[in-house]
Chain A
Amino acid sequence: MTTTLPPQAAPTTTADPVAPRTRRLGVGSWIATGILALVLLAALVGPLLTPYDPTDVVGLPSRAPSAEHWGGTDSTGMDVFSRTLAGTRIDVVIAAMATLLATVLGIAVGLGVGMNESRRGPVGVLARGVSRLLDLLQAIPVVIIGLVVVSFFGTSTPTMIVALAVILMPIQARLTRSEVLRVRGDAYLDAARQAGRHELRLIVRHVLPNSVRPALLNVSVILGISIVLTASLGFLGVGLPPPTPEWGSMIAHGAGDAAVGKWWSAAFPAAALCVTVAASSVLTHRLTVDRTS
């Protein structure tokens, strides 16, 4: 009589009793969370609250901040505060969508590559090829990839999202792949296979939950990078077309004015960018480094 061992339970949600207790969030984390919440709120309702139409010429050009124009006006007479507020939605939406797309694609690719790259035959060759391609993509400066993608497909919000997702996907894919390589040799997977579980079901039910955590923890890093990259492409003149209020292009447009003392048209979007990325960075540090140390 043959007996079959029941599959070993996968350690999906079981807390490790030996793992150190996670620390409580500190004040800095709460401030960062509050700022990010405000940024998200501004992205949602900001364009409805702007004192002026952010794409319209509403005053004399290059006016310093005043009661009438809180952030002054830029060299064409557009209201800097309204544009900075409206720019939140554009930058955050592009960054959030790109982060989501990069993470979903990255996890899928990482799973596929990690599970197959040691196989023989065409599937294994393909997986190893994709793995090297991910290495290659990570070796090329991200702004260069962004410039190439945008030059091919033009500048629009969907193009920017795709460009950023292409740039950032390898990071998530490589994180996931590393975890998959660690997990795939676990005994419970062999047991599940011997129990006749379909490979796809096995990946979804057991491998995915146990290898996705690093990529998910990395989301806030990716979000910060996305915001900076969106602004960078805008700064380099390949972002969204003017007069779209986007922080990077606003900084680029105002940089020349700042050099001759008219600081405000670049300072407001630059401050918004810095605060958002700093908050994202603080939160990331807290969630990843502090809580796992």
Chain B
Amino acid sequence: MSAPPRLGRRLARTVVSVVALSLLAAGCADSGGSGSGGAAKDTVVVVTGDQASNVVRDYGFTNGTDNQEVTNSIHAQLIRKPYIAEQGANVQVQDLYHFEPFLAQSYDVSQDGKVFTFHLRQGLKSQQGNELTSADVVWSFERKFSSKGGGMPGYYAPMLTDVDKQVVAVDKYTVTFTIDQPGYGFTLLGNLAENIGSIYDSTYLTQHASADDPYAINWGVSSMLNGNSGFGPYMLQSITPNQEIVMVANPNYVFGPLPIKTMIRRVVPDAATRANMLVQGDADVALDLRPTDQADLASNPDIFTPTATSNLYQSITLNTRRAPFDNVLVRRALAYAVPYDRIIDDVYKGRAYAYQHLLDDKQPYYDGSKLPKYTYDPAKAKDLLAQAGITTPVAFTMTVSNASPSVQDSVVVLAAAAKDAGFDITINQVPAAQLFSDGLAGRLQASMSTGSAVTMSPPYELNLLTQVGGGSNTSFWSGPDYDAFAAVMKQGLASTDAIGPEAGPLWSQAETMLVNSGANIFLARVMSPYSMRADVHGYAQRTDRRIDYSAVSIGGEANS
């Protein structure tokens, strides 16, 4: 017998109400997938703006955050920079001037400073289960230098120019690197400690090599999952294009087992949405946030934002071959037309700090006392333009990447402020790749961007921006001032220790010459664009600004 209609309606209403209340209660009880505090978790959810597309560093490097983080997680190097505390910082940073063993058990340097001998850990296995030997190290460097795609010969010049002679396997677990001058040693170690020094599993890769592809570079690129060819902490498990990459802990990792077993990297293109996901607990770590969002998150006790010094500089590069910046007085005038404080306060909301030069001021024997002190001084800028005999306003085009919101905002602030200093700036926004290629081709008058040297060796940093044909030289600075600068650089490289008492003052002198030239105007140093849930521990700020997930754990007391 069926229930009377009225009773049926009541029953239906009751069921619907109960279901609705249950859903509401469930929604209130669970604020998100990640949550904060409480028991330790072994899965980290990372939200990233882009997705890695190539993890074979020697094929070619795409400069996306995800590419670098995934590649870094797959690979390991002979040595690494230790993490240390920094005064005023709420996270650890990398010690830029010391190295500790990583895949190597130890290393030593010959008395003349030219031979670096690495003693490898024995019994250490790759992601594919093959033991690390000196043959892997030698093969890795042969692979790096066999392809121009990764730019390795450029990164390693002038330390390594002939790997067959300079990188030698002494026995199964010992390998030596020999350099021509002891002054190159610090830069060599710096490179070996970064992802350009990654060691590959040659046993695995040679199985996939062919006559046309002797180092399995193209094979590696043919599928990203072929990229599990290293000794790093994580390995690729699955890839859903434009959506998600899942990585799992490498069971053979040198310092394993790891607290985080699974890393889910979700693609969320919009920065504000990434910030929101962090607030909602739908992500543990959000990459590439806007400084304004990070400033807003500062008051949220569930969110932790690292504060530490950074090697990421924001700068203006002026093409010294093209008018009006072929005149040093005009370049210096522009340096006095930049509202440094306003950019730091209004655009970066305190997530950047004043830093108008290139080198690390904590570097041994550094002396920045002779650096010019640029401030926003429109009168001085106009005076310099008058000295240059140029009628104002000086019109020029400043090109920026359309993928860098902070730089885009900075250039708007600059354009507004520079009007009073006699400059009329037209802003041109282009894709990042075009900014890079147009800059190298000398097609730009001026550009604003962020950049950094991952290897924090003074000669390396200075050469990156000034070396003829260098990958970051878009100012094309030349002439007598440059020749004098190059002579000082040469003198520094000839010293026995790149961070010793002899070379230190020379790098400071060279840097002063660079800043005086106005070819590059350094605006500020920009802090890490990452924020995370407060229960994410172990983050350390690296010079490559990538997260070392092997050091991360989740759960327990919240960070503050």
Chain A residues engaging chain B, CB cutoff 8 angstroms: 55-57, 60-62, 75-78, 237, 241-243, 255-260
Q: How far is the CA of A177 from the CA of B275 in the complex (A)?
A: 53
Determine if B275 and A260 form an interchain contact, defined as CB atoms under 8 angstroms apart.
yes
Q: How far is the CA of A143 from the CA of B375 in the complex (A)?
A: 44
Partner of B276, one of A75, A76, A259: A259
Residues of A within 8 A of B402 (CB): 237
Residues of A within 8 A of B346 (CB): 57, 60-61, 76-77
Residues of A within 8 A of B557 (CB): none
Closest partner residue, chain B, to A60 (CB atom): B346
Q: How far is the CA of A255 from the CA of B290 in the complex (A)?
A: 13
Residues of A within 8 A of B419 (CB): 56
Q: How far is the CA of A254 from the CA of B556 in the complex (A)?
A: 37
How far in angstroms is the closest Cβ of chain B from A154?
9
How far in angstroms is the closest Cβ of chain B from A72?
14
Partner of B409, one of A56, A75, A255, A259: A75
Determine if A243 and B272 form an interchain contact, defined as CB atoms under 8 angstroms apart.
no
* With known contacts A241-B428, A256-B290, A260-B275, A61–B412 Cβ distance under 8 A: no
Determine if B413 and A242 form an interchain contact, defined as CB atoms under 8 angstroms apart.
no
* With known contacts A76-B347, A257-B272, A259-B273, A243–B416 Cβ distance under 8 A: yes
How far in angstroms is the closest Cβ of chain B from A255?
8
Residues of B within 8 A of A257 (CB): 272, 292
Closest partner residue, chain B, to A55 (CB atom): B416
Determine if A256 and B409 form an interchain contact, defined as CB atoms under 8 angstroms apart.
no
Closest partner residue, chain B, to A61 (CB atom): B346
Determine if B412 and A242 form an interchain contact, defined as CB atoms under 8 angstroms apart.
yes
How far in angstroms is the closest Cβ of chain B from A73?
10
Which 3 pairs across A and B sit closest by C-beta, in order of nearness? A259-B272, A256-B272, A57-B416
Q: How far is the CA of A56 from the CA of B419 in the complex (A)?
A: 10
Please name 20 pairs of A and B residues whose Cβ atoms are closer than 8 Å in the assembled complex, sorted by A.
A56-B419, A57-B412, A57-B416, A61-B346, A61-B409, A75-B405, A76-B416, A78-B412, A241-B426, A241-B428, A241-B429, A242-B411, A243-B416, A256-B271, A256-B272, A256-B405, A257-B292, A258-B272, A259-B270, A259-B275
Determine if A242 and B416 form an interchain contact, defined as CB atoms under 8 angstroms apart.
no
How far in angstroms is the closest Cβ of chain A from B187?
39
Residues of A within 8 A of B408 (CB): 242
How far in angstroms is the closest Cβ of chain B from A63?
11
Residues of B within 8 A of A60 (CB): 346
Q: How far is the CA of A243 from the CA of B400 in the complex (A)?
A: 13
Residues of B within 8 A of A237 (CB): 402, 429
Determine if B276 and A242 form an interchain contact, defined as CB atoms under 8 angstroms apart.
no
Residues of A within 8 A of B290 (CB): 256
Q: How far is the CA of A76 from the CA of B290 in the complex (A)?
A: 13
Residues of B within 8 A of A256 (CB): 270-272, 290, 405
Determine if A61 and B416 form an interchain contact, defined as CB atoms under 8 angstroms apart.
no
Q: How far is the CA of A264 from the CA of B273 in the complex (A)?
A: 17
How far in angstroms is the closest Cβ of chain A from B504?
40
Q: How far is the CA of A201 from the CA of B89 in the complex (A)?
A: 83
B213 within 8 A of A: no
Residues of A within 8 A of B405 (CB): 75, 256
B427 within 8 A of A: yes
B417 within 8 A of A: yes
* With known contacts A241-B428, A241-B429, A260–B276 Cβ distance under 8 A: yes
Residues of B within 8 A of A258 (CB): 272
**Residue from the set B405, B409, B417 with the largest chain A CB neighbour count within 10 Å:** B409
How far in angstroms is the closest Cβ of chain A from B336?
18
How far in angstroms is the closest Cβ of chain B from A79?
12
Closest partner residue, chain A, to B402 (CB atom): A237
Residues of A within 8 A of B347 (CB): 61, 75-76
Closest partner residue, chain B, to A242 (CB atom): B427
B415 within 8 A of A: yes
How far in angstroms is the closest Cβ of chain B from A243?
5
How far in angstroms is the closest Cβ of chain A from B416?
4
Q: How far is the CA of A241 from the CA of B409 in the complex (A)?
A: 13
What number of B residues sit within 8 Å (CB to CB) of A? 28
Residues of A within 8 A of B426 (CB): 241
Determine if B272 and A76 form an interchain contact, defined as CB atoms under 8 angstroms apart.
no
How far in angstroms is the closest Cβ of chain A from B300?
12
Closest partner residue, chain A, to B408 (CB atom): A242
Closest partner residue, chain B, to A260 (CB atom): B272
Q: How far is the CA of A58 from the CA of B415 in the complex (A)?
A: 13
Partner of B416, one of A56, A241, A255, A259: A56
How far in angstroms is the closest Cβ of chain A from B435?
13
Residues of A within 8 A of B271 (CB): 256
How far in angstroms is the closest Cβ of chain B from A21?
53
Q: Mark B404-441, 1 if CB is under 8 A from A, else 0.
A: 01001101110111010000001111000000000000
B293 within 8 A of A: yes
* With known contacts A61-B347, A77-B346, A260-B293, A243–B415 Cβ distance under 8 A: yes
B296 within 8 A of A: yes
Determine if B417 and A57 form an interchain contact, defined as CB atoms under 8 angstroms apart.
yes
Q: How far is the CA of A75 from the CA of B346 in the complex (A)?
A: 8
Residues of B within 8 A of A62 (CB): 292
Q: How far is the CA of A61 from the CA of B415 in the complex (A)?
A: 16
Q: Mark B26-68, 1 if CB is under 8 A from A, else 0.
A: 0000000000000000000000000000000000000000000
Determine if A243 and B412 form an interchain contact, defined as CB atoms under 8 angstroms apart.
yes
Q: How far is the CA of A41 from the CA of B272 in the complex (A)?
A: 36
How far in angstroms is the closest Cβ of chain A from B441?
17
How far in angstroms is the closest Cβ of chain A from B286?
12
Q: How far is the CA of A242 from the CA of B346 in the complex (A)?
A: 18
Residues of A within 8 A of B296 (CB): 260
Residues of A within 8 A of B417 (CB): 57
Determine if A76 and B273 form an interchain contact, defined as CB atoms under 8 angstroms apart.
no
Closest partner residue, chain B, to A244 (CB atom): B427
Residues of A within 8 A of B293 (CB): 260
How far in angstroms is the closest Cβ of chain A from B398?
10
**Residue from the set A62, A242, A243 with the largest chain B CB neighbour count within 10 Å:** A242
* A-facing residues in B324-354 (Cβ within 8 Å): 342, 346-347
Q: How far is the CA of A258 from the CA of B270 in the complex (A)?
A: 12
Determine if A242 and B272 form an interchain contact, defined as CB atoms under 8 angstroms apart.
no
Closest partner residue, chain A, to B290 (CB atom): A256
Closest partner residue, chain A, to B295 (CB atom): A62
Closest partner residue, chain B, to A237 (CB atom): B402
Q: How far is the CA of A237 from the CA of B432 in the complex (A)?
A: 13
Determine if A57 and B413 form an interchain contact, defined as CB atoms under 8 angstroms apart.
yes
* With known contacts A256-B271, A259-B273, A260-B272, A76–B413 Cβ distance under 8 A: yes
Determine if A242 and B275 form an interchain contact, defined as CB atoms under 8 angstroms apart.
no
Q: How far is the CA of A280 from the CA of B83 in the complex (A)?
A: 62
Q: How far is the CA of A77 from the CA of B273 in the complex (A)?
A: 22
Determine if B292 and A241 form an interchain contact, defined as CB atoms under 8 angstroms apart.
no
Q: How far is the CA of A258 from the CA of B293 in the complex (A)?
A: 11
Q: Mark B251-291, 1 if CB is under 8 A from A, else 0.
A: 00000000000000000001111011000000000000010
Residues of B within 8 A of A243 (CB): 412, 415-416, 427
Q: How far is the CA of A288 from the CA of B415 in the complex (A)?
A: 47
Q: Mark B145-162, 1 if CB is under 8 A from A, else 0.
A: 000000000000000000
Closest partner residue, chain B, to A59 (CB atom): B346
Residues of A within 8 A of B428 (CB): 241
Determine if B427 and A241 form an interchain contact, defined as CB atoms under 8 angstroms apart.
yes
How far in angstroms is the closest Cβ of chain A from B338?
13
How far in angstroms is the closest Cβ of chain A from B545?
21
